[in-house]
Structure 1
Amino acid sequence: MDNGGATFGGVSFASLGLLLTRANIPLLPETIQTEEELEGLDGTVDVETRYGPRLIELEVSLITEDEASYQIALQQMAKVFNARAGVRPLILDRMTGKRWMCKYNGRIPIDKIASLGEFTLPFKAFFPFSESVTDSMTQLEYGLGYSYGMGLRYETPPAFSVTTSPTLRTLYHAGTHETYPVIRLVGAGSNITVSNTTTGETLTLNLNMVAGDVLEINCAPLEQTIQKNGSSALSGVNGTFPRLVEGDNNISISGAGLNMTVSFIFRHTYLY
């Protein structure tokens, strides 16, 4: 039994009068399998495997002193778990170094709450993987909630000066699932290439930057954008937006007239 607590969107369960008694989180999300049948062939051909959203169920008890405080607690709960507010971080006290980005999904029969004082809060994580509670630009230190077994290293944040071509760096991703960084370039350069030679992914940027320019590359699928000083700069871009895989990733930055600082901003991402 899980006797710990949790926070959702920065609000502790304890402040709502809730006690988390059990957290049901599947070891892996449900698979979405693509298969093909071929004439004359037994079985099927495994074409692709993807993961669907992860459903999380939290069994809780509502603890109040009287009926009036009970009704107030219900009112507060409805506000905190309002699904229209969008996805927010769910952090369990038993694993304070990880967050699940999710939102309330389902229904809680009010008569069940009233009669038993115990009920299940259903959540859906559309992005089905857990993430570190801070991003890579936060220096690791005691008190952030991280625990042994997450694979984290006490390293300086991944921001470095680039004045020669190519500039090579090794970036470490502790998570067990790939992560997609935001790459921020500040300074001058042209015909810039960003490569992760570990994965073989290269992005070429046929543009010019001068001192003070800020270029941000969001590598996340469905969010892939490139902005220069706040405006879209996707024209003249070729290649593949690079990701980071588990372990060491060998990064190469090349181009002409480079005098910039490059930062890789990401969260360590885990299958569980």
Structure 2
Amino acid sequence: MPTKLDDYTFEDFGLIEEFGHVHPSTPDFTEQTLSIPGRPGLLSLGTQIGAKQFSLPIKVFVRDRYERQRMKNKFVAFLFDEYRQPREFKLSFDYEQDKYYFAKIASQITPEMLFQMDQFELTLIANDPTKYFLLDADEITVGSHIPILSRVRPARHSFVIKSNQTINVVHDGTLAIKPRITISGSASNVTLKNTRNNKSFKITDVISTKPIIIYGENYMVTEGGNDTFSKLVGDFLELLPGDNNITVSGEGLDLIISFKYRAQFM
């Protein structure tokens, strides 16, 4: 089972991955509740989403115990950085090659050292339990080198805007995301609104020499490369799973609007 850590398989370290690993379908989660005296039951305050933890059985099948130790040392050097901290890497599985987690080692490795081999359980954790698609949405075109079972569609992500109109932005993930939106050209009183959830923002002026970039995930706005958070009035737009109809309105519209994002999955 060629599980990959970044671009490496266990075989690259001289290790053998055995069958029977643990890959949770959902992250840990805790229901937040409040008990009110005199009120039957509990009041729900939402759900706290936690991490995903993985367990993979690994063995080193080499007769020479010195060589076995060398292989384990090489693998440990990959798992930790030069400051002795567990380092983060992309974790992907052969049955879902188009998606990956950001994971790192979660507990001590304690090999059982036998006559001709060592064996141990490798425990990894993804503190961010989100699965990410391999490519950004705008990089997916007909002929893209992605696994054949991927259920994503090539779609348009850059639009020329000359008048008030509605554009369609496709998001093939299963989680709401905040894209990076680049607005270049010139116009005044520009408003973008997602009709799926009625969230919108307004920008007073767009100047042709100063493209505006809205970093939804980081809650940042730049104009011509300089921070200008106050330029945006309203909400950071979200893309919901499926088709998103975005209305664009304003005065003197002569714009190119581009959306940059990577599909995310539970």
Question: Aligned residue for 2:8?
Answer: 11
Q: Is the 8 A contact 2:28 2:49 kept in 1?
A: yes
The DSSP-based 3-state class of the residue aligned with 2:101 is strand
Shift of residue 98 of structure 1?
Answer: 0.6
Q: Which runs of structure 1 show a deviation greater than 4 angstroms over 4 or more consecutive aligned residues?
A: none
The DSSP-based 3-state class of the residue aligned with 2:73 is helix
Q: What TM-score does the superposition give when structure 1 sets the normalisation length? A: 0.85
Q: Distance in 2 between matches of 1:72 and 1:16?
A: 10
Question: Aligned residue for 1:177?
Answer: 175
Cα 1:212–1:64 shift into 2, 3 Å: farther
Task: Spell out the pairing of 1:40-59 with structure 2 (5 A cutoff).
Answer: 40-59=38-57
Cα 1:44–1:235 shift into 2, 3 Å: same
Shift of residue 253 of structure 1?
Answer: 2.4
Shift of residue 128 of structure 1?
Answer: 0.8
Query: Rg: which structure is higher?
Result: 2
Q: What TM-score does the superposition give when structure 2 sets the normalisation length? A: 0.87
Task: Spell out the pairing of 1:40-119 with structure 2 (5 A cutoff).
Answer: 40-64=38-62, 66-82=64-80, 84=85, 86-109=87-110, 112-115=111-114, 117-119=118-120
Cα 1:191–1:121 shift into 2, 3 Å: farther
Shift of residue 65 of structure 1?
Answer: 6.3
How many residues align structurally? 260
Q: Does 1:164 align with 2:163?
A: yes
Question: Aligned residue for 2:240?
Answer: 245
Cα 1:12–1:31 shift into 2, 3 Å: same
Q: Distance in 2 between matches of 1:67 and 1:120?
A: 19
Q: Distance in 2 between matches of 1:197 and 1:57?
A: 42
Q: Is the 8 A contact 1:61 1:118 kept in 2?
A: yes
Shift of residue 143 of structure 1?
Answer: 6.6
Amino acid at match of 1:250: N
Question: Aligned residue for 1:266?
Answer: 261
- Identify the range of structure 1 (208-217 vs 92-101) with the bigger mean alpha-carbon deviation: 208-217
The DSSP-based 3-state class of the residue aligned with 2:95 is helix
Amino acid at match of 2:240: V
The DSSP-based 3-state class of the residue aligned with 1:101 is strand
Q: Is the 8 A contact 1:5 1:19 kept in 2?
A: no
Q: Is the 8 A contact 1:58 1:121 kept in 2?
A: yes
Cα 1:143–1:192 shift into 2, 3 Å: closer
Q: Distance in 1 between matches of 2:157 and 2:12?
A: 37
Identity in percent: 20
Shift of residue 68 of structure 1?
Answer: 4.2
Q: Does 1:233 align with 2:228?
A: yes
Q: Distance in 2 between matches of 1:133 and 1:70?
A: 34
Q: Distance in 2 between matches of 1:106 and 1:200?
A: 45
Output one character per residue of 1:240-261: Cα deviation in whole Å (capped at 9) or x when no partner. 2122122111112223333222
Q: Is the 8 A contact 1:97 1:144 kept in 2?
A: no
Question: Aligned residue for 2:211?
Answer: 214
Q: Distance in 2 between matches of 1:204 and 1:63?
A: 62
Gaps of 5+ in 2: none
Q: Distance in 2 between matches of 1:18 and 1:209?
A: 56
Output one character per residue of 1:203-234: Cα deviation in whole Å (capped at 9) or x when no partner. 2233x3322433221212xx211122222110
Amino acid at match of 1:262: I
Cα 1:23–1:140 shift into 2, 3 Å: farther
Q: Does 1:32 align with 2:30?
A: yes
Question: Aligned residue for 2:191?
Answer: 193
Output one character per residue of 1:180-225: Cα deviation in whole Å (capped at 9) or x when no partner. 211122322333322211122112233x3322433221212xx211
Q: Is the 8 A contact 2:79 2:87 kept in 1?
A: no
